Structure 1
Amino acid sequence: MLCFLRCAAVFLFALFLSAGAGSQSFPNKPVHLVVPYAPGGAVDLVARSLGQGLQQGLGQSVVVDNRPGGGGSIGVDLVAKSAPDGYTLSVAAIGALTINVHLNRLPYDPLKDLAPVTVLATSPMIIGVNASTPVYSIKDLIDYVKARPGKVSYSSNGLGSLSFLSGELFKRMTGIDMVHVPYKGGAPAAVALASGEVSVGVTEPTSMLPHVRAGRVRALAVTDPKRSITVPEIPTVAESGVPGYETNSWIALFAPAGTPAEIINRLSTESARALKLSEVRERILKSGQEPVSNSPAEMARILRTDFEKWRSVIKDAGIKPD
């Protein structure tokens, strides 16, 4: 009996050392970044830029694996169901993690099945008006719409998109009544605004700014809580008279739930270092995104906050899940 207990103790101790050694030796093989969208988009660019920087810090190859489909749900689900060892990670945008879950029945729970590592990049939406509209500020816009309830239309990237929800949140917080006109993406939404099909538009800077520079659209405010470093001349909605208003699009790094804390922390630290590399930072900035990083705990807080915020806005907008 004594011999059995000694053998059991030795086995458990060896198992403990083996588990610890596995975390300490991480990584000892290539790391895969699963992008749940097609190549060429903003998330893909951020993932590839991050991967180049991570290779230096981790000392291993970092492979970007595009798994598009289902609004990002296919790729995210693949990561959620992967081994929690740090070798299969997700670089995904806000929609697949805090919005789609309230619109569709997904095979994963973002709050339970994923471990936040860090945010990687953020970008605001811009609220703009057609240049012929006699509106020059957010206050002007609120007054203009209140004088024409139900008669002013605004364009978005589509029903359920972040730009649509940003517009609906703006309506809710200001008490105005605008008619939503969905388009199939930011580019057509911005074109509709520039051509005068709609008077107001809410979309990302990369789609709206070319029309602003051409004089066809007037940018009123960014939806971020602080001014964007990419367009610092444009004020925020909050500073323009709607305190507490904030929305932004973020791209973040996630691991499967259950990944050891030391691996999560290592990935977070190395990601922050990679985002400070000049070549990585410049590539992300040129795409219209702002490279940023935070702690796993802070990313988890953002995930929970946005998850609840968009659930409330979607409910108020009367959108039913499919």
Structure 2
Amino acid sequence: MRTLRLLSAVALAVALMAPPAARAEFPERPITVVIPLGAGGSHDLHARGITPILSEILGQPVVVSLVPGGAGMKGTTQVAKANPDGYTIIFTHNAFDQLTPQTRKVEFDPKTAFKSIARINANEPMLAARAGVPYKTLAEMIDYAKKNPGKVNIGHTGVWGVGFVPTMQLIKAAGIKVNIIPHQGGGPAMRAVLAGEDDMTFGFATQYRPHYKAGKLVPLGIAGDKPLKDDPDFKDVKTMTQLGFPGVDFTMDRIFMAPAGVPADRLEKLRKAFDELNKKPAYHAFLKNIGEKIDYMSGAEYDAYRTKRMQQFADLIKEVGSK
């Protein structure tokens, strides 16, 4: 009996000395995904399909929190300063992660504040105008803008956001004078176009599709040189390179990240969950349904990649900043 009591006491002491992470399986409560953008954008649309599948994989609810503002820095800062316990992560893009923090004073070091969980895909933004504008092609828009300086309104997703960079590149390359209207993400920018407040914006096929099918949008061109050849609705839309503007070029990476300092085992579990997500038929079906491609990169791979991209963006800031 004394031996049994002694063994029980030892076992209890060992359990009490063990760290909390060793006593409880992560995750043991819901995980919050912060999106530093407004409702209705491509990130919001992606999250609606991703989070239910992630919840099944992780065994806990995955809840989305939209935190727009400050050109993406409000939500980004919130996650950078969050408890690095793995229960608060961010679903963002490379402009907010690697570009914007280099253009202003922020409350975190962008080079060290985050660890990548996964890049789920990458896309080039498309310029689309509202139906009813007096032009149907990019060439016609440029001609109209030159004849009517200051009469065209181009909305974007926030200064140094995904839509801002190709907008500024196009304005300089085309030599036009337009009004540049900032919004808190792709959703608000799209709503401004549909409401007739703005004439056009750079966005993505995911958010454009229903409005295009309803006859409310006219696609004018895709940034870069990669046409959407497999897209049923936008496969014939020409790229900016094809249209004579090779300098209008920007690719958005959609990425999930955790605050630096997250325990290694929890980061690994999150990364493995996304690796598993990428293999799920339901996830592939979801992306196909919204017309998105799979361009997956693991967290470890993206951590190395983003370091290189930060330097490339530093060069881009000098280029666009001179416009």
**TM-score, normalization by structure 1:** 0.68
Give the equivalent residue in structure 1 for 2:175.
177
Give the equivalent residue in structure 2 for 1:155.
154
Query: Contact 1:165–1:310 (CA<8 Å) still a contact in 2?
Result: no
Q: How does 1:1-322 map to 2 (within 5 A)?
A: 22=22, 25-127=25-127, 133=135, 155-157=154-156, 160=159, 161-170=161-170, 175-183=173-181, 184=183, 185-189=189-193, 202-205=202-205, 206-207=207-208, 210=211, 214=215, 217=218, 219-223=220-224, 225=226, 227=228, 229-230=230-231, 231-238=234-241, 246-284=249-287, 286=289, 289-318=292-321
Query: Contact 1:157–1:189 (CA<8 Å) still a contact in 2?
Result: no
Q: Please, which moves more after superposition, 55-64 or 235-244?
A: 235-244
SS in 2 for 1:111: coil
Unaligned regions of 5+ residues in structure 2, if any?
A: 1-13, 184-188
Using the TM superposition, give the Cα deviation of residue 154 of structure 1 relative to its aligned residue in structure 2, in angstroms: 7.1
Distance 1:100 1:23 in 2: 40
Please give the per-residue CA displacement for 1:52-95, whole angstroms capped at 9, x wherever unaligned: 11222223333334444434333322322233332221122344
Aligned partner letter, 2:116: P
Aligned partner letter, 1:256: P
Please give the per-residue CA displacement for 1:149-182, whole angstroms capped at 9, x wherever unaligned: 996967242662422311333566xx54232422
- CA 1:220 to 1:23, structure 2 compared with 1: closer, same or farther past 3 Å? farther
Distance 2:265 2:127 in 1: 41
Query: Contact 2:49–2:286 (CA<8 Å) still a contact in 1?
Result: yes
Distance 1:223 1:212 in 2: 24
- CA 1:225 to 1:188, structure 2 compared with 1: closer, same or farther past 3 Å? same
- CA 1:232 to 1:239, structure 2 compared with 1: closer, same or farther past 3 Å? same
Query: Contact 2:28–2:60 (CA<8 Å) still a contact in 1?
Result: yes
Percentage identity across paired residues of the two chains: 19
Query: Contact 1:156–1:203 (CA<8 Å) still a contact in 2?
Result: no
- CA 1:305 to 1:56, structure 2 compared with 1: closer, same or farther past 3 Å? same
Using the TM superposition, give the Cα deviation of residue 103 of structure 1 relative to its aligned residue in structure 2, in angstroms: 4.4
Please give the per-residue CA displacement for 1:238-297, whole angstroms capped at 9, x wherever unaligned: 466666864133331101113344433432232132244344444455556545421123
SS in 2 for 1:98: helix
Distance 2:23 2:47 in 1: 23
Q: Please, which moves more after superposition, 287-296 or 235-244?
A: 235-244
Distance 1:141 1:112 in 2: 45
Alignment size in residue pairs: 295
Distance 1:292 1:271 in 2: 13
Q: Please, which moves more after superposition, 123-132 or 154-163?
A: 123-132
SS in 2 for 1:299: helix
Query: Contact 1:190–1:207 (CA<8 Å) still a contact in 2?
Result: no
Query: Contact 1:149–1:178 (CA<8 Å) still a contact in 2?
Result: no
Distance 2:36 2:216 in 1: 36
- CA 1:91 to 1:220, structure 2 compared with 1: closer, same or farther past 3 Å? closer
SS in 2 for 1:32: strand
Give the equivalent residue in structure 1 for 2:186.
none
Distance 1:128 1:69 in 2: 24
Query: Contact 1:55–1:62 (CA<8 Å) still a contact in 2?
Result: yes
Aligned partner letter, 1:178: I
SS in 2 for 1:232: coil
Please give the per-residue CA displacement for 1:108-135, whole angstroms capped at 9, x wherever unaligned: 2222111111113444212457986595
Aligned partner letter, 1:299: Y
| RMSD after superposition | 4.5
- CA 1:301 to 1:105, structure 2 compared with 1: closer, same or farther past 3 Å? same
